[in-house]
Chains A and B, each alone.
Chain A
Amino acid sequence: MSDHEHHDHPLAPETRDAGSQALSEALRSSFIIVQIAMATLIVVIILSGVFTVGPQEKAVILRFGKPLGEGQKMLLGAGLHWSYPQPIDEIIRIPITEIQKVTSTAGWYQTTPEQELAGTEPPAGPSLDPRTDHYVITADRNIIHTRAFISYRIDDPLTAIFNFASGTNQQFNLAGISNAVQNAANNALVATAARFNVDDILTGKVEEFQEAVAQYVRELAASEHLGVVIEQCQVQSLPPRYLKDDFAAVTAARVNRDKLISDARSDQNHILSQAGATASSITNLAESARVRYVTAIQSDAAAFTNLLSRYESNPQLYMRLELTEALAGALTNVQDKFFLPQRADGKARELRLMLNREPPQPGSAANP
């Protein structure tokens, strides 16, 4: 067979060798290309598992549909991560921050973000359309607007993310749990307002009402197994817009009443402190008078004891001396002195006093 081939094709061995060599070369080249392609494919497959998580999101790896890790460890934070390629692993990205916020809807009137920003309100009407102007009914059967701003934290990611659907799609996000927390807030507002009076909610027991709503939301979050922790609950309440001026007038009247009472209390303090001061003065004066009186009596007694012997030795002389001395002192001080000698006939002299006379002007011509 080989001879036949050799004779029929004298150049065949050379041609065959060249062909085989070319084929071999081609196969070798192809194989190298395949090897490079496979190596590249493996590298691509490995690198395709690398993914990044942004600062405002978390990621969960589902391996064959099951989340990897438990509790907070399930959530991958910002940075570079790796997973097996699909269909082994699937990356679920969730836009999540540490604190989530949601606002209730059930008790507030219809407004737009622009109106909220501008601080304006829609015009008030003499009634409320319950389809658009939401409100709550208070214990005293009044109507007010109220809303709760809830801040919450995901405590159990498995429950919060994988247990609540957002509409009919199959996406994983926080819309479902946000909706559940919002409904809890709505429920809490309606149920709590039902046992508070309107003035308590608006002015008297604002803090108490807010705490009651927060407590109710916390209880609902626990009983409904939402997997969240309610961090903060702030409640804003307003009277109906139609009665805004009436409520403001009550507030003004109460402020005025408080001022009247405050002024009265101020007067009370003044009256009582003045009375206390006067009372102290009276008792102090009495005390000092007592001391003075007793001291005077005691000093008089001491003086009496000292003078007694002198007096008893010659009472008349003693009295004359003392009286003369006293009159001498008095006469020195007395401004007007009139000596009236006895009448020669022995009759009493008649004196006439001019009362209310003009006081003498010192240095005047009439009184030099």
Chain B
Amino acid sequence: MTLIRAELLKLRTTRLWWVMLGVTVAYVLLQLGLTIGFAGQTGQNGRQVFPSRGTVPFQELLWGLGSSGVLFPMILGVVMMTAEYRYQTITTTFLATPRRERVVVAKLGAGVVVGLAFGLIVLALTAVAVVVTVPLSGGELVLSAKVLRIAAGVLLVLILYTLFGVGLGALIKNQLGAIIVAVVWVFIVEALVTAIPALQPVGKWTPAGAGGAVTNSGVDLGLGTAYLLPAWAGALVLLGYAVLFSAVASATTIRRDIT
């Protein structure tokens, strides 16, 4: 616990965390705005783009949007690890905690707190959006088990992507390199494997596919949802990635000589 507190203090005493929080909030607000704005409208294919505002599927869809900003806490997770190598503070860190795997574990612990905080904030934004738009459109607010599962899923996805970032940063100690890998992964690789039906059997095992399973509202946004794993399996897959990366990193890159 002491080491987790130290890691959180490291984050709080530099400025990046609130830049990333700001970007996450802006991105989620954009997603909420677009979804609310286009709700109920009919696309070129004659189908509704999003369910209309008064409906229950609309509420469920909104609740899951918080997970769209995963890239930014993930980058924060990457930086929690790579900044130590970039500024050589890793020397001081390992002098204070010479058992290096403890440092990795503490960073994962701090990542849980960061992901949870980001998740609670985006859920609060979502709650405001739901509470304002649904009654205005004559709908009735629901707090079903499904809504709770989706909201919990958003928390879980944000936490696990932060951990995924910490693990990635530990493997690729170069900060810019690790961030580029994260961006390419989230915006290109995952976007492709979850969008192209032929690749979806692979896509469901990626972090995005697993994240989609956890926050799946059942609303088909044109890519299909049937291919996804069950929610619990998605959560396990995400956790698996974070643990795997961190364990591999602890056994390899983190062990290397600091010169």
Task: Specify whether A and B are partners.
Answer: no
